[in-house]
């Protein structure tokens, strides 16, 4: 009775792939072997479709992680670039300050050499 109900439902399009659907064939006929091979073909196609769907899902996951990794690498590279740029800026400002300090010291020494020395006054 169950087989008849499933067969009727499959004829009107209400039975899904989960229902065990078999065509009604007389035993001993050539049609029986054809039905078995058809059911094997259908099951292999369904299995291939499931594998394909799973592969697509995994590919999407890989793409998602690859995109996230690429973004992380880009952010790290940008941070490193800014850090190098900042270090170079700090080094230039230190060098400029050192040059300015050296010039000031040289000017002080020149002023000391060229400035007339006042005679020491004697205490009264």
Give the number of residues written for the chain. Answer: 124
Number of neighbouring beta carbons within 10 Å of residue 21? 16
Residue 32 lies in a domain: yes
What DSSP assignment string belongs to 38-93? Answer: HHHHHHHHHHHHHHHHHHHHHHHHHHHHHHHHHHHHHHHHHHHHHHHHHHHHHHHH
pTM tops 0.75, yes or no: no
Residue 124 lies in a domain: no
Residue 11 lies in a domain: no
- How many domains in the chain? 1
Residue 33 lies in a domain: yes
Cα(122)–Cα(124) distance, integer angstroms = 6
3-state helix, strand, coil in the chain (%, to 5): 75, 0, 25
What's the domain range around 104?
27-112
Residue 90 lies in a domain: yes
Residue 69 lies in a domain: yes
Residue 78 lies in a domain: yes
Residue 52 lies in a domain: yes
Q: What pLDDT score does 110 carry?
A: 83
Distances in whole angstroms, Cα of residue 10 to Cα of each of 23, 32, 59, 93: 10, 19, 34, 83
What is the token pair recorded at 105? 């010291």
- Ordered per-residue pLDDT tens for the chain, 124 residues: 878 888 888 778 776 555 555 656 556 656 666 667 788 888 888 888 888 888 777 777 777 777 778 888 888 888 888 888 888 888 888 889 999 998 888 888 888 877 655 555 655 5
């Amino acid at each position: 009775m169950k087989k008849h109900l499933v067969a009727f439902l499959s004829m009107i399009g209400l039975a899904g792939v989960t229902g065990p659907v078999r065509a009604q064939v007389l035993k001993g006929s050539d049609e029986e072997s054809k039905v078995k091979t058809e059911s094997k073909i259908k099951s292999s196609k369904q299995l291939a479709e499931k594998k394909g769907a799973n592969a697509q899902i995994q590919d999407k996951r890989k793409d998602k992680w690859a995109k996230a990794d690429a973004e992380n690498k880009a952010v790290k590279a940008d941070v490193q670039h800014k850090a190098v740029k900042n270090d170079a800026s700090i080094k230039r400002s230190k060098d400029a300050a050192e040059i300015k300090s050296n010039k000031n010291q040289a000017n002080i020494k020149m002023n000391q050499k060229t400035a007339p020395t006042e005679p020491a006054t004697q205490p009264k």
